[in-house]
A and B are shown apart, each in its own frame.
Chain A
């Protein structure tokens, strides 16, 4: 069944794309995972409207869009905090919004974070590519013809309702750390940490780095004290996941993000733990990052705790 046009993009904002939890299982074909930069906020927005976690929603970047809803819709916004208006009324994020036919959801000033998610009950429709609707910008696949939304785009909303019941975030999630200007994240030392002299690893783990201007959904360039490599030998390319930090010969680390290539040829000094990945999605150019080394036991415990808060939020 073809659903009628359900929402119209009046103003696309800086970079608004369709994203879900990404496409897995084809990285050995060179197909990137892609998906939301802050998967926790995407899932939260989906849960608020009763969608399944993996349902596609709109990812808003730094400056938000204006969206007109052409029929009654249940909507939730999560992630970065913006001043939100529904026509002339100010509304809240991280709560269920019942939007009437013809009403406009407008993003105003951004207060914190970098990326927000707009989930619509039933899910936003788009091109499904290898099992996911996520937009992969470098290869122009998935979502809205593989590109960011433009003024005048018309999107359909699915009729598929999730099996999960609509839920409200518990206090734990409402109070979750949302980076303002920067954040600390926990890392596990990388598979090539032995390529770096000890003092380089110490520098990386004790100094502050800044997200460079040349940063996007593929990765963040980190500016700060250079991370010297032991020698100039070349590494053979190997798999690179979101959250891993590669160091080219220049010593300027590169933090791989959602749209990163499946493989890379620079040694990896560390990898951000799964429980802290969502924090990275809330950073923009100019924000700072500090890295705390932890072990896999702590990393797993942190994720278990985060999931417990998610599960207890009904």
Chain B
């Protein structure tokens, strides 16, 4: 991937936000550049930077507009964006985080819906979901909620028409080509196909978030007994 400026543009998010905007697509190399740029900006510990938020194909930098002139801030971010390149090689070395999932039944009420959408057996949906190494493209929606991609086209069922008021913590969902695990209980519209007994959030440790953008995830089907055993061991 070349790093010339033609592949990204700088946009304004109000008076105190700068968006480095890459071509709109879910692409591991583009996202890898976003993650690398966000890490680079954070590592500089610039006193005027309040927050850096990387997403699928963008990096938003919130700055203190009383601490730095807008043009200067844009200049610094532009320079860093020019210098930062994707590191797909480094990415490849990443060992995936393995997350056990109990698919279907009471833990995955929408497995049958996805199976009907895909016109294949539930077993086949599980096989397809668990045979991909996913990339964490971004976090958002809830603390620790990771957007993983890409889901096998065949099982990429759209969101539910009526979102659930309560989706349990650990629920594994599909929304088109995205999949993810709800780290805490919340309302939600994704198709829930299973549940993961491993906690994605642990507020009592220094790094509470198991998943971060750029990391890899692989799901491993487990039975109900294993689900209960792992859940009890992590209480």
Contacts and interface: CB of A to CB of B under 8 A. Distances in A.
| Residue among B15, B55, B65 with most chain A CB within 10 A | B15
A159 interface: no
B8 interface: no
Contact of A29 (B13, B16, B56, B143): B143
B38 A28 contact: yes
| Residue among A27, A264, A268, A304 with most chain B CB within 10 A | A27
Contact of B140 (A138, A190, A244, A263): A263
B1 interface: no
Give the interface SS of chain A, mostly helix, strand, loop or mixed: mixed
A237 B143 contact: no
B19 A239 contact: yes
A237 B138 CA distance: 9
Contact of B51 (A27, A139, A141, A300): A27
Nearest to B38: A28
Contacts of A273: 14-15
Interface string A187-214: 1111100000000000000000000000
Nearest to B213: A28
A314 B212 CA distance: 45
Interface string A233-252: 00111110101100000000
A227 to B, nearest CB: 18
B15 to A, nearest CB: 4
B139 A30 contact: yes
B58 interface: yes
A188 B12 CA distance: 8
Interface in B137-182: 138-145, 147
B186 interface: yes
B70 interface: yes
A117 B32 CA distance: 43
**Size category, B interface:** 35 or more
B110 interface: no
B24 A236 contact: yes
A305 to B, nearest CB: 11
A76 interface: no
Give the interface SS of chain B, mostly helix, strand, loop or mixed: loop
A24 B67 CA distance: 16
B140 to A, nearest CB: 3
Contacts of B147: 237
A29 B140 CA distance: 7
A17 interface: no
A187 B54 CA distance: 24
Contacts of B184: 139
Interface residues of A, number: 41
A307 B38 CA distance: 30
B58 A138 contact: no
Interface string A25-45: 111111101000000000000
Nearest to A299: B15
| Residue among A187, A191, A238, A262 with most chain B CB within 10 A | A238
Contacts of A190: 13-14
A131 to B, nearest CB: 12
Contacts of A303: 15, 65-66
B52 interface: yes
A60 B197 CA distance: 39
A274 interface: yes
A282 interface: no
A139 B203 CA distance: 13
Given A28-B53, A30-B139, A191-B19, A241 B66 contact: no
Contacts of B12: 188-189, 191, 296
Given A29-B209, A30-B139, A261-B141, A237 B55 contact: yes
Given A30-B144, A31-B143, A263-B55, A304 B66 contact: yes
Interface string B115-140: 00000000000000000000000111
A29 B11 CA distance: 23
Given A262-B140, A263-B141, A299-B65, 8 more contacts: A29-B139, A29-B208, A29-B212, A236-B25, A236-B58, A238-B19, A273-B15, A303-B66
25 contacts: A24-B51, A24-B62, A26-B143, A28-B51, A28-B52, A28-B53, A29-B209, A188-B12, A188-B14, A188-B15, A190-B14, A191-B19, A235-B24, A236-B56, A238-B21, A238-B58, A239-B60, A241-B16, A244-B13, A263-B55, A263-B138, A263-B141, A271-B13, A272-B14, A274-B65
The 8 A-B pairs at the shortest CB distance, nearest first, are namely A271-B14, A263-B140, A239-B60, A299-B15, A239-B53, A191-B11, A236-B56, A238-B55
Interface of B: 11-17, 19, 21, 24-26, 38, 50-58, 60, 62, 65-66, 69-70, 138-145, 147, 184, 186, 203, 208-209, 212-213
